[in-house]
A and B are shown apart, each in its own frame.
Chain A
Amino acid sequence: MVRECKSVRSAYGKTLVELGKINPNIVVLDADLSCSTQTQLFAKEFPERFFDMGIAEQDMMTTAAGLACTGKIPFVSTFAMFATGRAWEQIRNTICYSNLNVKIAATHGGITVGEDGASHQSLEDISLMRSIPNMTVIVPADEKETIEAVKYAANHYGPFYIRIARTNLPDVYDTSYKFNISKALIMQEGNDVTLISNGETLVETLDCAKMLNDKGISAEVISIPVVKPIDKDTIINSAKKTKRIFTVENHSIIGGLGSSVCEVLSENYPVPVTRIGINDVFGQSGKAKELMNYYGLTSQKLTEKIIGQLK
């Protein structure tokens, strides 16, 4: 099946422009990657409100903090690796401890960075961001969700981390979709097993659910774009129904969506959970799709793994 894939990065850039037109306090910072992150669109439209900070992510994060102190709403973009890795302590100690209105929208998270290889593939960003108090963490799964998450962040006070997918993605939500910070989405109902995902792996998970259904396994699929604060009720209710959970994410199995789900269930309704993601290893070079396959994140590989585990 061929589906139209859309550039969510370009959607991010266009949304920034739209927001910039409405709100003069929106400013954008990038660290020499504005062509990749698509903040260049904002730079062209509002050069006086765009700051290319050069290859200096620590300086960029704390400069954003200073801008926020003067009432600006900074969107800070670079690759997820450098935003959350290099500048983690600036985010923790200056942005989040002071609870500043800084929005970190990082691209190139996960294995799908592709050919650049392990040094650029952030498999830890969700883990790093969600462990900081005051931080909201969102992993959108398609163009529409990206646009709505970015708008939501612009209009709600506090630090946000939004992981903008590098790869082009098909629409996974229908036109009625509305972003809701406190609700996970039940994408399809099922009785035998619950699959939970977000971001670039959501479409694979949905396809996997179809394959499982074809084999007589009724799979419920839940999308959790907001990893923090997480919607506990939707997870617990589904666990009560299916009593078997699989999480799927383009991230290390340590500290991300899978860990978040385990935390909720172990304290509320313990059922077996299998975390599918990158198994505590570094990535490598390759095409995004090849890497998704190699690390077991395509719908076919997910289906094989889940059927194997259910036996």
Chain B
Amino acid sequence: MANQLSALDVENLKSVSKKIRKEILMMIHKAQSGHPGGSLSAVDILTVLFTKCMKHYPECEKNSDYKNRDRFVLSKGHASAALYAVMAHCGYFNEEELLTFRQLGSKLQGHPCSNLLKGIEISTGSLGQGLSIACGMALGLKLDKINSKVYVFMGDGEIQEGSIWEAVMNAAHNNLNNIIAFVDRNKLQIDGSTETVKSVGDIAVKFKAFGWNTIEIEGHNYNQIYEAIENAKKSDKPIVIIANTIKGKGVSFMENNSGWHGKAPNDEQLKQALEELK
């Protein structure tokens, strides 16, 4: 089936995502600040999306087909470390630059900045805004009769922002079936479990009620991620992929621990984490 990854693909994705996890940890360790938990939960989806599913051009405007690229918006901008590591892997910039993350004068700001880093479509970081941005891009592409997709990556805590639901309504009203949204359902936010802080409940039911299609997957399973995205491309409505993930995935002491939302590992913790990712 066209919608399936080969065994070799899966092996490659495992190895790439492992490399990216290590880079994320080294970046955050070097900066002694950043967001490991939500970056690690996002890695597998971003890796599959950027290396297997999305039409994009790391050389940007130099590619004559650039205007027909798919768009990507990291609505949960605090997962920037994951995005930067994936972009570097794809060739947007030199991997050595990753260690400038969050340093004075770096292109790799704490949250993505489109004026500093080529390939970032728009600056993000303040939660709740990415889906509306995606709606605008989707409307613009439709006006220009460009058949590209707009991918937008949200956090689960993020959907507590009311503006997300304005955008959910907007996408359905305008039938923006060129939007493929993700919710990184790692079930944790800074102050604890999403269900304790302010329950987001059954996300799929909510999106469906607003007129969206939904797919629920295990967000660290490469085959499921790939199939979901490829199926989503054929959706007749805006579609959300709700990916059940593990915050801090890949590092035992970070997994399912909200304390690692926005904390950097120390030398010892980095060593242990890298050891686990060997």
Is A62 a contact of B140 with CB atoms below 8 Å?
Answer: no
Asked whether, in the complex, the Cβ of B123 is within 8 Å of the Cβ of A67, the reply is: no
Q: Are A94 and B139 in contact (CB under 8 A)?
A: no
A97-105, A117-125, A192-200, A265-273 - interface stretch: A97-105
Would B135 and A66 count as touching, CB distance under 8 A? Answer: yes
Q: Are the CB atoms of A99 and B115 closer together than 8 Å?
A: yes
Partner of B114, one of A62, A67, A70, A98: A98
A58:B163 contact, CB within 8 angstroms: yes
* A97 close to B113 (CB less than 8 A): yes
In the bound complex, CA of A27 to CA of B114 (Å): 23
Known: A58-B166, A97-B113. A63 touches B136 (CB 8 A): yes
Q: A62-B135, A100-B122 are in contact. List 19 more A-B contacts (CB 8 A).
A: A27-B140, A51-B139, A56-B166, A56-B169, A58-B162, A58-B163, A59-B163, A63-B135, A65-B132, A66-B73, A66-B132, A66-B139, A69-B140, A70-B136, A71-B140, A74-B136, A93-B125, A97-B113, A98-B114
Q: Which of A54, A63, A66, A67 has the most CB of B within 10 A?
A: A66
| A68 surroundings in chain B (CB, below 8 A) | 136
B268 within 8 A of A: no
* CB<8 Å pairs between A and B, sample of 26: A48-B143, A49-B143, A51-B174, A54-B166, A58-B128, A59-B170, A61-B132, A63-B136, A65-B132, A66-B132, A66-B133, A66-B136, A67-B136, A67-B137, A67-B139, A69-B122, A69-B136, A69-B140, A71-B140, A71-B144, A93-B123, A93-B126, A94-B126, A94-B129, A94-B133, A97-B113
- Which residues of chain B come closer than 8 Å to A100, judged between CB atoms? 122
- B138 partner residues in chain A, CB cutoff 8 A: 66
Are A59's CB and B122's CB within 8 A? no
Contact between chains at A93 and B129 (CB < 8 Å): yes
Q: Is the CB of B140 within 8 A of A53?
A: no
Tell yes or no: B83 within 8 A of A by CB.
no
Which of chain B's residues have a CB closer than 8 A to the CB of A58?
A: 128-129, 132, 162-163, 166
Q: Is the CB of A69 within 8 A of B71?
A: yes
Of the candidates A56, A69, A71, A89, which one forms a contact with B133 in the assembled complex, judged by CB atoms under 8 Å apart? Answer: A69
Does A70 contact B170, Cβ atoms closer than 8 Å? no
Let me know if A62 and B133 touch, CB within 8 A.
yes
A163 lies within 8 A of chain B by Cβ: no
Q: Is A223 part of the binding interface, using a Cβ–Cβ cutoff of 8 Å?
A: no
A90 to B164, CA, bound (A): 12
Known contacts A62-B136, A67-B137: does B170 contact A94 (CB below 8 Å)?
Answer: no
Q: Determine the chain B residues whose CB is within 8 A of the CB of A94 once the complex forms.
A: 122-124, 126, 129, 133
Report if A70-B141 is in contact (Cβ < 8 Å); known contacts: A59-B163, A63-B135.
Answer: yes
Q: A170-200 interface mask toward B, CB cutoff 8 Å, 1 = contact, 0 = none?
A: 0000000000000000000000000000000
Given contacts A49-B143, A67-B140, A70-B140, contact A59 B123 (CB under 8 A): no
> A216 to B115, alpha carbons, bound, how many Å?
55
B170 with A72: CB separation less than 8 A:
no
Known contacts A70-B137, A98-B122, A98-B123; decide if A63 and B170 are in contact (CB<8 Å): yes
Least distance between B244 CB and chain A CB atoms (Å):
27
B264 contacts the other chain (Cβ, under 8 Å)? no
CB distance from B192 to the nearest CB of A (A): 25
Q: Which A residues from 51 to 92 make CB contacts under 8 A with B?
A: 51, 53-54, 56, 58-72, 74, 89-90
The reply to whether B126 and A89 form a contact with Cβ atoms under 8 Å apart is yes
Whole-angstrom distance between the Cβ of A310 and the nearest chain B Cβ? 48
Q: Given the complex, which residues of B lie within 8 Å of A53, measured CB to CB?
A: 170
Q: Which residue of B lies closest to A87 (CB)?
A: B163
Q: Of A48, A66, A99, which contacts B140 at CB under 8 A?
A: A66
Q: Which of B114, B135, B137 is in CB contact (< 8 Å) with A59?
A: B135
Q: Are A59 and B132 in contact (CB under 8 A)?
A: yes
Q: How many residues of B contact A (CB 8 A)?
A: 34
Q: Which residues of B contact A61 (CB under 8 A)?
A: 132
Question: What bracket does the count of chain A residues touching chain B fall in?
Answer: 20 to 34
Interface contact A72-B143, CB-CB below 8 Å: yes
CB closest residue in chain B, given A102:
B136
For window 80-129 of chain B, which residues contact chain A by CB distance below 8 Å?
A: 113-115, 121-126, 128-129
Q: Which residues between 141 and 161 of chain A lie within 8 Å of chain B, taking CB atoms?
A: none
| A72 and B163 form a contact (CB under 8 A) | no
> What's the minimum C-beta distance from A240 to chain B, rounded to whole angstroms?
39
A69 x B137 contact (CB < 8 A): yes
User: A98 — which chain B residues lie within 8 A by C-beta?
Assistant: 114-115, 122-123
State in angstroms the CA–CA spacing of A48 and B174 once bound together.
Answer: 11
Shortest Cβ distance from A94 into B: residue: B129
Contacts of A48 in B (CB 8 A): 143
Min CB distance B90 to A, Å, is 20
Per-residue contact bits, chain A 237-257, to B (CB 8 Å; 1 contact, 0 not) = 000000000000000000000
B150 partner residues in chain A, CB cutoff 8 A: 66
Most central of A48, A62, A98 by chain B CB within 10 Å: A62
Give the docked Cα–Cα distance between A71 and B138 (Å). Answer: 12
Contact of B139 among A63, A71, A89, A97 (CB under 8 A): A63
Complex-state Cα separation, A90 to B140, whole angstroms? 19
Let me know if B273 is at the binding interface, CB within 8 A: no
Q: Is B254 an interface residue (CB 8 A)?
A: no
In the bound assembly, the distance between CA atoms of A97 and B114 in angstroms comes to 9
